[in-house]
Structure 1
Amino acid sequence: MSVGFLIDMDGVIYRGGELIDGADRFINALLREQIPFIFLTNNSQRARRDVATKLQRMGIFVEEQHIFTCAMATARFLAQKKPNGTAYVIGEGGLLQALHRNGYSIVDHEPDFVVVGEGRTVTLDALEQAVRLIMNGAKLIATNLDPNCPTKNGTRPGCGATVAYLETVTGIKAFSVGKPSPIMMRAARKELGLLTSETVMVGDTMETDILGGAQMGYRTVLTLTGSTRREDLDHFAYAPDAIVESVAEMEDPLAFIRSRLPRGKSEDDTVRLTAMAR
């Protein structure tokens, strides 16, 4: 059985600094059975090495190649659209490092793009500068549109809140690369070398994880250890393929796929020649 997993982290593997029961056993099973997987995060603050270290300290022994951030997806997207470009950045180290690794220079005047990620030190001066640059022609890019971020001390504003400020002031809408954007969802699948029919998205948020997976034709698993409650599902026109109380129910990943998920649709893997000829 060819299969691989795209896995959200916060609310699926851990909550705050606490490992969710069974998460380590689920990931250990994937490693033991050599099932490809990658963690997806809409948090652009940390570099992938930092994220891997955080997981290792919680008992999830993964490597850098198991991490895919919205900062990485954003930097790769920009490098494809305008190689060796320039950016004014509101964000932190993970986003800055990703842009540098993809050939971008960070500037504070006449940038090609204003790129917004998470930041705990956003200032009014930085926002005013971003407004001026956008009004002078810089394109507004968001690593994600999540309005808030859960922390051990409660909820704080997320990247989407900063972006909304800039959109309101300038009247210009941002282009977002993070989940549920097909750009990030497709790039993560390609990192693993999977086909659409072989890809399973596991997440706790209907508006990002499950929506992104559904739009791409991936099979989806919603875990109830995060932001979505079972009664919330009535508000959505789409639904996950399976619902679990936690990933502890997925400790035998292949048995779970066989018993709880529909078969992957191989017709989603390629464009049929007959369809192209119409």
Structure 2
Amino acid sequence: MHKTGFLLDMDGVVYRGKSMIPGADAFISKLRANGVPFRFLTNNSQRTRRDVALKLCRMGIHAEETDVFTCAMATARFLAAQKPGGTAFVIGENGLGMALHHNGYSVVDDQADYVVVGEGRTLTFEMIERGVRLVEKGARLIATNLDATCPTDEGIRPGCGAIVAMIERATGVKAFSVGKPSGVMMRMAQRELGLRSEDTTMVGDTMYTDILGGVEMGYRTVLVLSGHTTMADLAKYAYRPDVIVNSVSDLDDQFILGESHAAA
């Protein structure tokens, strides 16, 4: 039997807002105890992987920096492969700039190879304006993800998809997105774990990112109802997850160890 592994969405799967979802800590401990490889996969480009790991630890979920895979990391690695040592004008926060620097990119205000857009609360209209002008001059437009909204404790706020839409509409240029459901990010994380597609399980709470990406990649997919998707929402989609559970705490040992993979 081949080893199996998990790609785990975060918000709605292991925590909601600032609170851990009950049983998520035991689920992660079970993966570790059984040597099951996994990565926390997030479409949030604001924090570095170290910051994300600390947030999980403070909630009571043991996490190492290397357990975390962000769309900022995926974007930076993708650009480094496309054009090594390139330049980027960044609309986003610390996690995105750090990931680009780590992968040999310089962050600039003009003559940029790419305009890279993430989410965040620090952007100004002047940044959008500069991004539009750089794209008009030939910079390629990259989005870390196309999520229209970000959940917060107070409600939703505009996400990366909403921010990049302003530049798309103004320039007529469509952004290339690296985050979920893009296979670019998901395959990078899968390769980091050394897994085959058929031995990879994607666990998420969102049909149009986590589950869609997993279905397109040929992964086993698990929809948890601990986020914002309800059973009634499933009727809207032409694709379905392999398994639906209330939360990760409902996944039994047999499923975690991959023994039920053929039947899933």
> Please, what TM-score do these two structures have when normalized by structure 1?
0.92
Secondary structure of 2:259's aligned partner: helix
Does the aligned pair in 2 maintain the 1:88–1:109 contact within 8 Å? Answer: yes
Q: Does 1:148 align with 2:149?
A: yes
Equivalent residue for 2:208? 207
Does the aligned pair in 2 maintain the 1:42–1:178 contact within 8 Å? Answer: yes
Does the aligned pair in 2 maintain the 1:26–1:251 contact within 8 Å? Answer: no
Equivalent residue for 1:228? 229
Does the aligned pair in 2 maintain the 1:44–1:71 contact within 8 Å? Answer: yes
Does the aligned pair in 2 maintain the 1:149–1:157 contact within 8 Å? Answer: yes
Equivalent residue for 2:47? 46
CA apart distance, 1:116: 0.2
Equivalent residue for 1:270? none
What is the rounded CA distance, in whole Å, between the counterparts of 1:256 and 1:223 in structure 2?
18
CA separation of 1:101 and 1:7: change in aligned 2, threshold 3 A:
same
What is the rounded CA distance, in whole Å, between the counterparts of 1:62 and 1:35 in structure 2?
14
> Please, what TM-score do these two structures have when normalized by structure 2?
0.97
CA apart distance, 1:252: 2.4
Alignment-mate amino acid for residue 118 of structure 1 = E
CA apart distance, 1:34: 1.0
Equivalent residue for 2:180? 179
What is the rounded CA distance, in whole Å, between the counterparts of 2:110 and 2:172 in structure 1?
20
What is the rounded CA distance, in whole Å, between the counterparts of 2:54 and 2:24 in structure 1?
16
What is the rounded CA distance, in whole Å, between the counterparts of 1:249 and 1:19 in structure 2?
15
Alignment-mate amino acid for residue 172 of structure 2 = G
Equivalent residue for 2:134? 133
What is the rounded CA distance, in whole Å, between the counterparts of 1:142 and 1:254 in structure 2?
34
Task: Report the identity percentage.
Answer: 62
CA apart distance, 1:227: 1.7
Alignment-mate amino acid for residue 215 of structure 1 = E
What pairs up with 1:1-278 in 2 under 5 angstroms?
1=1, 2-250=3-251, 252=253, 254=255, 257-259=258-260, 261-262=261-262
Secondary structure of 2:150's aligned partner: strand
What is the rounded CA distance, in whole Å, between the counterparts of 1:126 and 1:200 in structure 2?
38
CA separation of 1:252 and 1:149: change in aligned 2, threshold 3 A:
same
What is the rounded CA distance, in whole Å, between the counterparts of 1:246 and 1:230 in structure 2?
13
CA apart distance, 1:153: 1.3
Specify every segment of 5 or more residues in structure 1 that has no aligned partner in the other structure, as ranges.
Answer: 265-278
What is the rounded CA distance, in whole Å, between the counterparts of 1:254 and 1:206 in structure 2?
21
Does the aligned pair in 2 maintain the 1:202–1:222 contact within 8 Å? Answer: yes
Does the aligned pair in 2 maintain the 1:114–1:139 contact within 8 Å? Answer: yes
CA apart distance, 1:142: 0.2
What is the rounded CA distance, in whole Å, between the counterparts of 1:81 and 1:255 in structure 2?
36
Alignment-mate amino acid for residue 13 of structure 2 = V
CA separation of 1:255 and 1:176: change in aligned 2, threshold 3 A:
closer
RMSD of Structure 2 on Structure 1 (CA): 1.3
Alignment-mate amino acid for residue 124 of structure 2 = T
What is the rounded CA distance, in whole Å, between the counterparts of 1:40 and 1:250 in structure 2?
19
Alignment-mate amino acid for residue 180 of structure 2 = K
CA apart distance, 1:138: 0.4
What is the rounded CA distance, in whole Å, between the counterparts of 1:249 and 1:63 in structure 2?
24
CA apart distance, 1:137: 0.4
Does the aligned pair in 2 maintain the 1:180–1:212 contact within 8 Å? Answer: yes
In the TM superposition, what whole-angstrom CA distance separates every residue of 1:115-149 from its partner, at most 9, and x where no partner exists?
A: 00011011111111111101010000000000000
Alignment-mate amino acid for residue 134 of structure 1 = V
Equivalent residue for 1:273? none
What is the rounded CA distance, in whole Å, between the counterparts of 2:257 and 2:6 in structure 1?
12
CA apart distance, 1:262: 3.6
Does the aligned pair in 2 maintain the 1:25–1:251 contact within 8 Å? Answer: no
Does the aligned pair in 2 maintain the 1:29–1:253 contact within 8 Å? Answer: no
What is the rounded CA distance, in whole Å, between the counterparts of 2:131 and 2:138 in structure 1?
11
CA separation of 1:51 and 1:253: change in aligned 2, threshold 3 A:
farther
What is the rounded CA distance, in whole Å, between the counterparts of 2:12 and 2:176 in structure 1?
26
